[in-house]
Amino acid sequence: MSDVTTKTILEVLGLTVSFEQATGSTKVVNDVSFEVLEGETLGIVGESGCGKTVTVLSILGLLPETGTIDSGKMIFEGRDLAKLSVEEIRKVRGSKIAMIFQDPLSALHPLLPISTQICEVTMLHRGFNRDEARLHAVRMLELVGIPDAEKRIDAYPHEFSGGMRQRIMIAIALSCEPTLLLADEPTTALDVTTQAQILNLIRTLNPKFKTSTVLVTHDLGIVAQMTDRVAVMYGGRILEIAKTSDLFRAPSNPYTKALLKSVPDPSVGRIEDLYQIPGTADFSVVTHGCAFAPRCNRAEQSCREELPELEQVSEGHYSRCHFAKEEYLSNQSKH
């Protein structure tokens, strides 16, 4: 893991995003605030529909047409990304902030050779000429571990395996040496052994390029292995945000605790120890209280009526729960 300095790269403040649906508009991201520090990897973890992907799409202005940013600021290099014009945000995309997606096959143009797709970015954003761009592209491909890069650069996406395609996506994303890399479930579509390779690659490359990363994932194992800090999202809100080591050592939100206990623990290997969170995540129901309250084992009447604030439990460790302090302290007593 990289050195964490205090310089803030991106500051998201009170981001609220809603989606137009047949039944009306729904808030998918609700008052989300976080910051990304220089060189760090911030994980955003949560289950499907919790708003984690929408959050990162908002940063680059890539929301689908049905989604709108209702309020909030996203300060990047002194400018609010939400206020940039289409032209201005396009200049930021790919150069200062790059993104990699879950499915590298659909993110790559199927009819263009890899070379064109990598060179395009650097010619556009860094003003390289064709030869410079190509030279740089080969270097990037070698860096991400494409064997025979010199030759394979003119191959088409379908000629590569899934893992290789994700490496190419990473090469494209890093070729303008972005300040911020947004990775949306970058290894979900891959096999475990390939996933390990890609995760390792991201981990070794980031310090090299001094890139900060926002890593969106549903896999708590990946969070534990890859991130410096982590935000846990549920129902469009951040329920807990902390240093990764603090979060796993002293989870201070009932949802985080339940999530951790729901992952099968192979070292114990007993099904009785597996925790199940009752019910399903139904985010279509608007509540005034805590979104997790209907499934929470310690919810009280106040949880259903009043939305808890994000409360600090220790330095840099915040939890959105009426019982945040108690939850935090209960970890202490265990050890």
Partner 1 sequence: MNEKLISIRDLRVAFKEQSGIFAHAKTTVAVDGVSLEILKGEILGLVGESGSGKSTLGKAILSLVKKESGEVYFKNQEVASLDHRGVRSLRQATSMIFQDPYASLNPKMTVGEIVAEPLSTHKLVPAKEIPERVRVLLESVGLSSASEKSFPHQFSGGQRQRIAIARALASKPEFIVADEPVSALDVSIQSQIIKLLDRLRSELNLTMLFISHDLRVVRIIADRIAVMYLGQIVELGDAQSVFENPLMPYTQALVSAIPSLDPGVALGRFESMLPDETPSPTKPSRGCRFSSRCSFALESCRTEEPKLTEIRPNHWAACSRISSSNPSIA
Partner 2 sequence: MSSKTNTNGTEASGLTPRYGIWSRFKRNRPAVFGSWILAIVIVLSAIGPAVFGWLTGISSDYIPSSVENGALVRSFPPSLTHPMGTDDLGRDLFLRVFEGGRISILVGIFASVISLLIGVAYGATAGFFGGRIDGVMMRIVDMLFAIPYLLIVVVMMSLFGGNNAPDAVKQVTEAFVFLTNALMSLAGASPISTSSGLFQIFFLFVALGSVSWLTMARIVRGQVLSLKNEEFILAARSIGVSTFGIVFRHLIPNISGPVIVYATLTIPSVMLAEAFLSFLGLGVQAPYSSWGSLAADGIKNIAVYPWQLVFPGLVMGMTLVALNLIGDGLRDAFDPKSSKS
> Cα–Cα distances in Å, from 331 out to 151, 193, 253?
55, 33, 11
Q: What is the DSSP string of 77-90?
A: TTEEGGG--HHHHH
Closest approach of partner 1 to the CB of residue 17, in Å: 21
What is the number of alpha carbons within 13 Å of residue 253 lying toward its C-beta?
31
Q: Cα(31)–Cα(51) distance, rounded to whole angstroms?
A: 11
What are 56's two structure tokens? 């990162």
Which partner, partner 2, partner 1, none, binds residue 215 by CB below 5 to 8 Å per kind?
A: none
Residue with tokens 């499907």: 48
Q: Cα(214)–Cα(289) distance, rounded to whole angstroms?
A: 28
Contacts of residue 84, defined as CB under 8 A and 6 or more positions apart, other chains included, come to 61, 92
Closest approach of partner 2 to the CB of residue 157, in Å: 23
Which partner, partner 1, partner 2, none, binds residue 188 by CB below 5 to 8 Å per kind?
A: none
Helix (H) or strand (E) holding 331: helix 324-334
Q: Which of 3, 7, 48, 334 binds partner 2 (CB under 8 A)?
A: 48
Closest approach of partner 1 to the CB of residue 128, in Å: 31
- If one counts every other C-beta atom within 10 angstroms of the C-beta of residue 100, the result is 23
Q: Which of 7, 22, 131, 315 binds partner 2 (CB under 8 A)?
A: 22
In this chain, which stretch among 72-80, 88-96, 107-115, 279-287 interacts with partner 2, using CB under 8 A? 279-287
Q: Which of 6, 267, 280, 332 binds partner 2 (CB under 8 A)?
A: 280
Binding positions for partner 2, 63-122, rule CB under 8 A: 65
Closest approach of partner 2 to the CB of residue 22, in Å: 7
Could you say whether residue 283 binds partner 2 (CB under 8 A)? yes
Closest approach of partner 1 to the CB of residue 162, in Å: 8
Closest to partner 2 by CB, 269 or 278: 278
Closest approach of partner 1 to the CB of residue 210, in Å: 21
Give the residue among 202, 60, 61, 78 at the shortest CA–CA distance from 145.
202
Closest to partner 2 by CB, 33 or 188: 188
In this chain, which stretch among 16-24, 108-116, 167-175, 246-254 interacts with partner 2, using CB under 8 A? 16-24
Q: Cα(133)–Cα(128) distance, rounded to whole angstroms?
A: 5
- Interface residues toward partner 1, by CB under 8 A: 1, 47-48, 161-164, 191-197, 199-200, 218-222, 224-226, 244-245, 248, 258-260, 262-266, 269-271, 274-278, 280-282, 295
Strand, helix or coil for residue 127: coil
Residue 72 Rama label (left phi>0; alpha psi -120 to 50; beta): left
Closest to partner 1 by CB, 127 or 278: 278
Radius of gyration in angstroms for the set of CA atoms belonging to the chain, rounded to a whole number: 21
Closest approach of partner 2 to the CB of residue 64, in Å: 10
Which partner, partner 2, partner 1, none, binds residue 207 by CB below 5 to 8 Å per kind?
A: none
What are 329's two structure tokens? 């302290």
Q: Which residues contribute to the site for partner 2 (CB under 8 A)?
A: 19, 21-23, 28, 48-49, 65, 278-280, 282-284
